[in-house]
Structure 1
Amino acid sequence: MSSFKTSDGLNLHYMDKGTGRPILCLAGLTRNSTDFNFLAPHMADHRLICMDYRGRGQSDYDPQYMNYNILREAQDAIELLDHLGLDQATIIGTSRGGLIAMALSYGHADRLRAVVLNDIGPVVDAAGLERIMDYVGKEPDLPDLDAAASALKHVHADGFPDVPLDRWRQQAEFMFFEKKGGGLGIRYDASLRDALVGQAGAGDAPDLWLLFDQLKNTPLAAIRGANSDLLTAQTLAQMLDHHPGMITATVPNRGHVPFLDEPEALEAINALLEQTA
């Protein structure tokens, strides 16, 4: 992992691998650069850049937790591109990362070669938000990573019915670490929860359709888990109405979010990359 310093003085870590066209991967809300470990082997012909947001993974925690917001994280993404000397990159945004990609479309559309939205859109279903708020900022009451893997398999049995235990064991290690005194810790700042609560209480959320529509001139793909509780099939259809040229894929036996190494997801990503070659 390498690092760079943001304009407000935090050290943010990132992975930079490969020598082809650059792809900037932006992870989910509580996730980090490991969110793309399953995709990486399929992107060998590209330069894959995966960032740990502030307060996630190996990056510095922000003492001002309200800076855990999409606009600041979008600015961090631009500062990373500047640090790397990249005028443009394709963005693959998973969940929160897709919202950041939409935010980048307003004021930084020229930096976006293309965008892949992984199980996220301009409408975030309330059921999915409720599920997320149920776990954000809380350490799991589990003894070790093996127990976490079993718990993940059980919790996601309906959304991800065919995912084997060893895949959940890998995912558990991306999300948690075993503490010296026993139990598991989370790989992000627990104050992220306070930020979400504070932002929810600050007034009405912005109209994300306005940001999505800013992508009208940007090559775009949207991937949806067939069992997703965050991106509905109806919203995906509406997105296609707004952006008729958008590549779409629905991944069977996946909820929120697809791992991106599924054949349907890879087909959509590769089609977009070929479109913008």
Structure 2
Amino acid sequence: MASSSSSPPWSERVVIRDGVRLSCRDWGGGSGGSAGAAGGPRGSGVDVLLLHGLAGHAGEWDDTARLLRDSGHRVVALDQRGHGGSERHPRDGDLSRAAYVADAVAVIDQLGLDRPVLIGQSLGGSTALLTAAGHPGLPRALVLVEAGPGGASPGVQEQIGSWLRAWPVPFPSRAAAVAYLGGGTDAVGEGWARGLEQRADGLWPRFDPEVMVQSLDENATRAFWDEWAAITCPTLVVLGQGEHGGIIGGDEYAEMARRRPALHGTSLPGTGHDVHLERPGVLHRLIVDFLAGPCLGAHSNS
């Protein structure tokens, strides 16, 4: 492994499931994992799998991943199928919610993650939720960032597709990408811009908009309340609460709490949908406190 100071503080790990290539950032840390590219501490924390949102990438989690690793946890961030360093056009053509869940399970198995905490934002939160529901006993805990069971949203694909197709690509510079993608918030723009790839004519997304639209097929037509009620592990929900708000409304959260009274939830004033980019330090502290809480405990094997 390269020791150059320019080396990233994580190592790339590749998982192959049914012929589909999945790329992960392995930050190391924890008591059972590798030390990682930066030789991260090997503490006694739990394993963590981070799942990004639609059109996102594993690098969105870099700040949170670093903080969690430095807190003693083994941390892996997955580029979900169709995104980032993973296959952009999965050869099996499967963009169902079940395929995303099966990918997460394969990463957990092949990278040796021991009952990881699943942390997902937006569509990654949907993947985490459905993984926890379909595989009870696999995750130690669940953290949903701006994600929930949702409801049928027939117009969501047209809305998201129109937005993605309207990106003025290629971006001529990193600064131009940050300004456009951040919507006035540099931290958000930087997070999104980290997912672009440099080509000869400028910076391009590492996804196909049509693949992104197809990934929303099930979210556009149904909710996942039965799956939500089936989850048995401790769960924390973190919501944005800013000028532009988040995507989880008060009614949806109230129903989430009604169906699972032991739910832990909080909202962060001054944030929007990309809470993990806007307040990574605050999010890290919320997660660490949750894992150390009486309902879980960071060293619990129950």
Given the two structures, how large is their TM-score scaled by the length of structure 1? Answer: 0.84
Other structure's SS at 1:175 match: coil
Task: Look up the match of 1:11.
Answer: 21
Displacement of 1:132 in angstroms is: 2.8
Q: What corresponds to 1:160 in structure 2?
A: none
Whether 1:274 and 2:263 are equivalent positions in the alignment is no
Matched, 1:218 2:233: yes
* 1:69–1:137 CA distance, 2 compared to 1 (3 A): farther
Q: Contact 1:117–1:222 at 8 Å: present in 2 too?
A: yes
Change (3 A) 1:193 1:91: closer
Which of 186, 191, 197 aligns to 2:205? It is: 186
Runs of 4+ in 1 over 6 A off after TM superposition: none
User: Is the aligned partner of 1:32 residue 2:57?
Assistant: yes
Residue identity matched to 1:37 = D
CA separation of 1:246 and 1:267: change in aligned 2, threshold 3 A? farther
Q: Unpaired runs of 5+ in structure 1?
A: 158-162
Q: Which blocks of at least 5 consecutive residues in structure 2 are unaligned?
A: 1-11, 31-44
Counterparts of 2:283 and 2:155 in 1: how far apart (Å)? 21
Quickly say closer, same or farther: Cα 1:12–1:149, change in 2 above 3 A: same
| Aligned partners of 1:74 and 1:100 also within 8 Å | yes
Counterpart in the other structure of 1:93:
120
The sequence identity of aligned pairs, in percent, is: 25
Residues 115 and 219, structure 1, Cα contact 8 Å, conserved in 2: yes
Counterpart position of 2:225 = 209
Structure 2 length-normalised TM:
0.77
CA–CA separation in structure 2 for the residues paired with 1:128 and 1:33: 27
CA–CA distance in 2 between the matches of 1:116 and 1:108? Answer: 16
Q: Which residue of 1 aligns with 2:160?
A: 132
Structure 1's 64 and 137: CA in aligned 2 closer, same or farther, altered over 3 A?
farther
The CA deviation at 1:31 is 1.1
1:172-213 deviation per Cα after TM superposition (whole angstroms, max 9, x unaligned): 43232332123x31022333145247x36xx97333111111
Q: CA RMSD in A?
A: 2.7
C-alpha distance in 2 between matches for 1:274 and 1:243: 20
For 1:42 and 1:26, the matched residues in 2 are separated by: 16
1:62 deviates by 3.2
AA in 2 matched with 1:179: R
**Structure 1 CA distance for aligned equivalents of residues 247 and 80 of structure 2:** 21
Is the deviation greater in 170-179 or in 221-230? Answer: 170-179
Aligned AA for 1:266? H
Q: Count the aligned residue pairs.
A: 262
Which amino acid in 2 is paired with 1:81? I
Amino acid at match of 1:55: G
SS at structure 2 position matched to 1:238? helix
Tell me whether 1:144 sits opposite 2:173 in the alignment: yes
- C-alpha separation between the residues in 2 aligned to 1:127 and 1:191? 16
Counterpart contact for 1:4–1:13, Cα < 8 Å: yes
1:124 CA drift (Å): 5.2
Contact 1:145–1:178 (Cα < 8 Å) also in 2: no
- Cα distance 1:76–1:28, how it changes in 2: closer, same or farther (>3 A)? same
Equivalent residue of 1:60, what SS?
A: coil
* Closer, same or farther: CA 124–30 of 1 in aligned 2, 3 Å: farther
1:64-115 Cα shifts (integer Å, max 9, x gaps): 5741222101001101111023341110011111111221133311101100
- CA offsets 1:3-37 (integer angstroms, 9 cap, x no match): 1211x112211112212310011110111111211
Greater RCO structure (CA 8 Å; 6+ sep):
1
- Match of 2:236, as an amino acid? A
